[in-house]
Amino acid sequence: MSPPARHKLSLVAAALLGLPLFACSTALPKITLAPGAAVTHAAPIATAPTKDANGIMSPGRSAAVLQAVRAEGRSRQFDRHLSILEREQEILSRGNTVQLLVDGPATFESMFAALEGAHRSILLESYIVEADEIGQRIATILKRKRAEGVDVRLIYDGVGSFSTPPDFFAELREAGIDVCEFNPLGIVRRTFGLLEANHRDHRKVLVVDGRIAFTGGINLSNVYLSASLGSTRRKRFTTEDGWRDTHVRIEGPAAADFTNLFRDTWQRQNCGGSPIASHLPETASAAPPAGKRLVAVIGSVAGENSDRLYRTLLSAIVGATDSIHITMAYFVPDPQTLKALADAARRGVDVVLVLPGQGDSLITLRAGQSHYGQLLEAGVRIFEMQGSFLHAKTAVIDGVWATVGSANLDWRSFLHNDELNVIVLGEDFGSRMEALFATDLAHSEPVSQEEWAARCAPRRMMEQLGRLLEYWL
C-alpha cells in the first residue's frame, strides 16, 4: 500500500471509531457569481491591482502590465477571469517566470539545482518526507548548505511522514537545520490531542533565497522517481509504475508570498528559532522582473481561511464561458461543485475531467465515481487515466486561467488541510496547460453514459459506502 493510502485509512479509521476529529468548519461558502456573464467593458484592466516586490503598483502601471498579458490572446476570457479574481480580492503578482514541471524526475532535477544554488535561505515544507533515496539526497544537500551558512528550515506533516524514522529528522537537527513537525499525533508524540488530528499540512513548498519557489503535487518520496509516460498500460498499477503529477517552478516576486505562508505556518506551529526574514536582497526593488507571468498564490488554512481556495476555484468554474479542463487525483466533490460543473456543461461549456482509472485508496476512488451519473447526464465528459497513478491537481479554464498546486477537488482539501495552489492568468501559460491536458487525455479512456449505467450491483454498493464516508476521505 502506498504512503497516501496508509495516511487516508488512518484518518478514516479514527472517524469510524467515533473519535472527535473535527478541527475546522464543516460549511463551504455559497458562490453567487452569475454563470458565464460577459465582461463588456475595460473596467477590470483599469481597476484591478497588481503587485511587485515593492507592493501594490499604481493604477497606471498595473493597467500597462495587465494589458500586455491580455494581448497574448483570448482577451475576452482574460477580462472575464481578471474580473472574477478582482471580485474575490485576489491580487496578481507581476514579473514572474513559471516553468511547468511534469512528473517526479523533471521536478526533482529542477529542485536539486535550485537547492545547490542556494546562498542565503532554504524553506522546505512537505506533507510526506521519506527517508528513501530522494529523502536522503535532499538531506545531504540540506546538511551541506547549512554547513555553508545557509538558513535551512523544514516543516513536515505528522501524519504524512509518520512512517519516517525519527532518526532521519534528528540527524537534520544535529546538523543545525531547524526542523518542525506539523501537528504531531498525540498518542505517540504526546504533543497534542486528537481534536487536531484531522488538520493536516498537505502543502508541497520549496523557497530558495526568497526568489525561487516550487509547488504542486509532488512529495519527497521515491514513488515519483519514474515518469508516467514510461508506464505500460495494464489493469492494475503498482507503486513501481510512473506517477503522473505536476509541479511548477516560479521565479520572481511571487516567491515572497510563499515565504510569508511558510513563516505563518512556522509561527502557528510554535517551531521556534530565529525569525524568518520577509524578503532577501534578491527580492528587493532593485531586482529586474524575472518574466511576464501574472501569478496569484492561494494559501488556505483549515479552520481560518480554508474557503479561500474553494471560492477562487468555484468562482472560475461558475464564470467559465468556453472550457473547463480538470486533471484531478482525488475527486470527491461537494454538492455545489457538482452543480457548478453540471450547470456549465448544460450551458455549452466544454467540461472535461481526467480522473484516476486506478487508485491507492479504493474507497476514495469509488466515492468520486458515485457522482459520475449526475455529471455524465449533464454532458460532462469523463476520462479515466490508464497505466499510471494520477496524482496531479490541475485545471485550466477558458484557456487563460490555470492552477497547479496541492489541493484535490474534495472535502479534505477544502475543509481539513492547509493547502497551497498558484493561479497563473494569461493565454501563454494557459496554452501550455492545455497541451499537457491533451497529453493526459491521450493516456485516458472515456467513460460512456451507457457503460456506466450497466455497472454491477457490488460496484454500486461500494460507491454508496464511499459516498457515506466522503467527508473524511
Assess contact for 138 and 220: CB atoms under 8 A: yes
Q: Is the pLDDT of residue 471 over 90?
A: no
Is 410 an active-site residue?
A: no
Residue 395: pLDDT band with limits 50, 70, 90: very high
What is the per-residue pLDDT for 20?
A: 37
Assess contact for 355 and 367: CB atoms under 8 A: no
As to burial, measured by CB atoms within 10 angstroms (0-12 exposed, 13-18 middle, 19+ buried), residue 88 is middle
What is the per-residue pLDDT for 186?
A: 66
Is 151 an active-site residue?
A: no
Is 371 an active-site residue?
A: no
Residue 81: pLDDT band with limits 50, 70, 90: very high
Q: Which of 51, 393, 416, 443 is an active site residue? A: 393
Q: Which of 204, 292, 371, 416 is an active site residue? A: 204
Q: Which of 79, 103, 201, 209 is an active site residue? A: 209
Is 391 an active-site residue?
A: yes
Residue 333, classed as helix, strand or coil, is coil
Map grid coordinates 463551504 to a residue: 28
Q: Which of 202, 247, 292, 443 is an active site residue? A: 202
Whole-number Å distance between alpha carbons of 263 and 125: 11
Q: Which of 398, 410, 418, 440 is an active site residue? A: 398
Whole-number Å distance between alpha carbons of 147 and 144: 5
Helical H segments across 148-276, by residue range: 166-174, 186-189, 255-268
Question: Per-residue pLDDT tens for 262-312?
Answer: 999 999 999 998 888 765 554 445 567 778 999 999 999 987 777 899 999
As to burial, measured by CB atoms within 10 angstroms (0-12 exposed, 13-18 middle, 19+ buried), residue 236 is exposed
Task: Tell me 198's DSSP state.
Answer: T
What is the per-residue pLDDT for 292?
A: 93
CATH of 97-283, one of 3.30.420.40, 3.90.1150.10, 3.50.50.60, 3.30.870.10: 3.30.870.10
Question: Per-residue pLDDT tens for 401-450?
Answer: 999 999 999 999 999 999 999 999 999 999 999 999 999 999 999 999 99
Domain ranges of the chain: 97-283
Question: Per-residue pLDDT tens for 19-35?
Answer: 333 444 457 878 776 66
pTM of the model: 0.91
Q: Position 7: which residue type?
A: H
Which phi and psi (to 5°) does residue 240 adopt? Answer: -80, -15
